[in-house]
Amino acid sequence: MPWFPDFAGAAELARRQRRAAGQADPVGQYLNALSHSDTHALEDVWPGQVVVYDPRAGEVSGHRQLHAFIRRNVSWLAGLHARTEPVASTVAGGRAVVELLAYVTEDGQEMAWPLAVVAESPDDSSVVFRTYCSQWPVLGHREIRPPILDAAPVQAGDVVGRYLSAEAAGDADAIVSLFTPDGYFREPLGFHETHRGPGELRAFYHRMFSAGGGLGLEPCCLTDDGVRCAVESNFVRWGRHDLPPQAGIAVYERSPDGRLAAVRAYQDVTPPAASASGSGTWRTRPE
């Protein structure tokens, strides 16, 4: 019997290989779609449901909404001359959390805009993307971000759990003691709002807690690879002030000795005004 190439089998094998490669890097597939205005590769990898939770667009679900969302974003990002640079990736429990810096240009000035993208697959053919950031660098103001996830009984252990407990209690000194000598906290606005070392950290946390106490967060989802722990939460209280529940994420990076090397926050929560006594302030915009 003459031999004929198995074109159908080869095509199916190639399709499976493309899907496997895309599923191994879902955020990369998503960013590629945003960069090139092409949803085909994304939909080939995830032929089921693709859902996006975006700070500007809200919930995007279904192929028609996805196509329109990608087109709008490509045009918007092109106007900002945006380019992205990876910072870190945390993969565990079927989720990937990728931290990025998007460099955007406005009025001839380039600025670094921190973002975090979470990819989660509820099944083999579907994917959900959740993007977290402050919109101040591109809009000039903050936007209230409604919750994406429900509160869940997740428990962070070791240094991350101790940090969250001290943050809830408003204990600045306890938090500072958890960092390495060159550890830092980076605010959502970027590098110009990075506080490094015991002195800067102590001053930063004292300002943060000057509104009458710690932060009230409802943890929703935890992604921990042993080095970095990403906690998606809803902010509900700042000091004495109740907040409309707002979505955010923070990534806690451990040092080899088990302390905190870095904490990077991605959210758009508006801080309360300075305490009535005037004993402290909290910057709400870059200077």
Question: What is the b/e burial string over 201-211, where b = at least 16 CB atoms within 10 angstroms of the residue's CB?
Answer: bbebbebbbbb
Half-sphere exposure of 208 (CA within 13 A, CB side): 24
- The chain-wide mean pLDDT, for the chain, equals 85
pTM, to two decimals: 0.87
- Find tokens 């919750």 and name the residue: 147
Q: What pLDDT, in 10s, does the model give residues 168-200?
A: 999 999 999 999 999 999 999 876 789 999 999
Show the domains of the chain with their CATH numbers: 7-137 (3.10.450.50), 158-267 (3.10.450.50)
The H-or-E segment that residue 172 falls in is helix 172-176
Burial class (CB in 10 A: 0-12, 13-18, 19+), 109: exposed
Q: Rg of the chain's alpha carbons, rounded to an integer?
A: 21
pLDDT > 70 in the chain, percent: 86
The predicted structure's pLDDT at residue 7: 42
